[in-house]
Amino acid sequence: MRASRGYERLDSVGVLFLMEAKRCPSRRGLALQYSVVLTAGLLLQACGPGIQLSPEAVPVLLLSAGPANLLNDYAPIATVECSKGFNARRLQTNIRQCHNDLRNQTAELQGVLVVITSQALGPGDCGNCVVMVATAYRRKQ
């Protein structure tokens, strides 16, 4: 989609990049400024704070395996999932982000415990990808 003055829209956010910089030397500096701003924006998005643990999720326990007497005291309420990766973060950071996400989802469901039932770390050609599936539990009444 062509806009006025030789600009081409690259995305829905409205980032504009000067496409005529090669033909017009006086606009090369402006094109460089746009590319620097675009690069900085992408880096900030990739390296941002990520998923923070909500205050409601702080008391939610996260276990990688449920204790033998789990069903005696707790009732399952839902399956929760998380998938992170293909970003500029390390594998350990994506794991922590998934743990926070699972705990946040469990807290939203009024749960107090989440048990990871399956996980895939760095599958295929993505060395920092994490996929986790877990069961959220509430205390039996």
* Domains of the chain in sequence order: 4-46 (no CATH), 55-139 (3.30.1660.10)
pLDDT of residue 66: 77
Structure token digits, residue 10 = 């690259």
Predicted confidence (pLDDT) per residue in 24-71, tens digit: 555 555 555 555 554 544 444 445 567 888 888 888 989 888 778 887
pLDDT of residue 49: 62
**Using H for helix, E for strand and C for coil, what is the string for 81-111?**
EEEECCCCCCHHHHHHHHHHHHHHHHHHCCC
How many other β-carbons are positioned within 10 Å of the β-carbon of residue 78?
15
Q: How many residues does the chain have?
A: 141
Structure token digits, residue 129 = 């990808």
Residue pair 112/139 in contact (Cβ under 8 Å)? The answer is yes
pLDDT of residue 70: 82
